Amino acid sequence: MLTANEHYRSVFGCKMYKASISFAKSCPNRDGTKGTGGCIFCSAGGSGEFSAARDKTITRQIDEAISLVERKAGPDAGYIAYFQSFTNTYCSPDELALALDEAMAHPRIKALSIATRPDCLPDKILEVISEKSSEMPVYVELGLQTSNDQTAKLINRCYETKDYDDAVRRLKEIGVNVITHVIFGLPGETEEKMMESVRHCVKAGTDGIKFTCLYVLKDTALEKMWRAGEFEVLGEEEYFDIVEKAIELLPPDTVVHRLTGDGPKKLLLAPMWTADKRGVINYINRRFAK
Ligand code: SF4
């Protein structure tokens, strides 16, 4: 495996930071097109509580995101415009092109990262992404979470794993860098099922992977299941044991973009160790430092 830093340095020659952008208004798993209520773990903010408000222009959102990290990042850092919340290709090709153009026009932006669902990549949208990727590196982040279709039904993902396989193939055909999101600790998933998801992503040809420990947020369907005792969240050591095994399954050139995620503190119910960002970073440094 490669770390994200190693990857970015080799591609851009500098440290890269993400400037989160709130662009998409919803997702087809919330508005009834594919499902209602969304994935059971997803909060009303659509996995993007940290994004700046959507009513600001993309340029302003980027400026504000940069100003938050600029002192730490220094003048040589590069930035990735990260279209994070909801499903960012769930719009017309023209709307997407306009949004990407605005981000690309920002002088500090060196790459685009677009979070979406595999079932929201019709040909016209791929044409836009392909066109932009000829001007600037583009990453497309796919929320797979699990390759197990039974778990996918349980979490109300509302697309099949074969849709993911198809999306990875089509994105790779246009030369886009694919990052897959996988969640460990989903209800009913054994460690073997989690490893199977990782093997599946590798076989599909993902370039990178983001691991996240399942966390329970307020006012989600997952909260009800958790309160009813239908599953238990993973402990810190238990989670990173799984991550360590997952990393062993990755080819040397697969980029690990994230070892775990942290949910919005004001909504987080469990596991609380994920809220201790500094503690988690220290733990990761002790355990995974090369
Ligand atoms: S995780 Fe993504 S696809 Fe699922 S409900 Fe949230 S925004 Fe929609």
Give yes or no for residue 28 CB within 6 A of ligand 1.
no
Give yes or no for residue 39 CB within 6 A of ligand 1.
yes
Over its C-alpha atoms, the chain yields an Rg (Å, rounded) of 18
| 5: confidence class by pLDDT, cuts 50, 70, 90 | very high
Q: Give the atom of ligand 1 at the shortest distance from the alpha carbon of 117.
A: 3
The total number of structural domains in the chain stands at: 1
Report the CATH number that the domain containing residue 58 is assigned in CATH: 3.20.20.70
Q: Tell me phi and psi for residue 183, to 5 degrees.
A: -110, 130
Give yes or no for residue 29 CB within 6 A of ligand 1.
yes
16-205-12 Cα angle (round to 5) = 20
Instruction: Kindly report, residue by residue over 210-259, the tens digit of the pLDDT.
Output: 999 999 999 999 999 999 999 999 999 999 999 999 999 999 999 999 99
Q: Which of 172, 163, 97 is nearest to 135 (CA)?
A: 97
As a whole-number percent, the residues of the chain with pLDDT over 90 amount to 89
Helices (H), 134-235: 149-154, 161-173, 191-204, 221-227
What range defines the domain where residue 269 resides? Answer: 2-288
pLDDT surpassing 80 at residue 83:
yes
Q: Could you give the 3-state DSSP secondary structure of residue 113?
A: strand
Q: Are 149 and 157 in contact (CB under 8 A)?
A: no
For ligand 1, atom 2, the nearest C-alpha belongs to: 86
Contacts of 240 (CB under 8 A, 6+ apart): 259, 260, 283, 284, 287
Give yes or no for residue 208 CB within 6 A of ligand 1.
no
Instruction: Kindly report, residue by residue over 157-216, the tens digit of the pLDDT.
Output: 999 999 999 999 999 999 999 999 999 999 999 999 999 999 999 999 999 999 999 999
pTM, two decimal places: 0.96
Tally of CB atoms within 10 A around 154: 18
Across the chain, mean pLDDT equals 94
Task: For residues 116 and 250, give the distance between their C-alpha atoms in angstroms, rounded to a whole number.
Answer: 23
Q: Mean of the pLDDT values across residues 44-66?
A: 77
Give yes or no for residue 183 CB within 6 A of ligand 1.
no
Structure confidence at residue 52 (pLDDT): 45
Question: CB-hemisphere CA count at 13 Å for 190?
Answer: 3
Burial level of 82, CB count in 10 A (0-12/13-18/19+)? buried
For ligand 1, atom 5, the nearest C-alpha belongs to: 38
For ligand 1, atom 7, the nearest C-alpha belongs to: 86
Q: Give the atom of ligand 1 at the shortest distance from the alpha carbon of 48.
A: 7
Contacts of 290 (CB under 8 A, 6+ apart): none
pLDDT surpassing 70 at residue 47:
no
| 278: confidence class by pLDDT, cuts 50, 70, 90 | very high
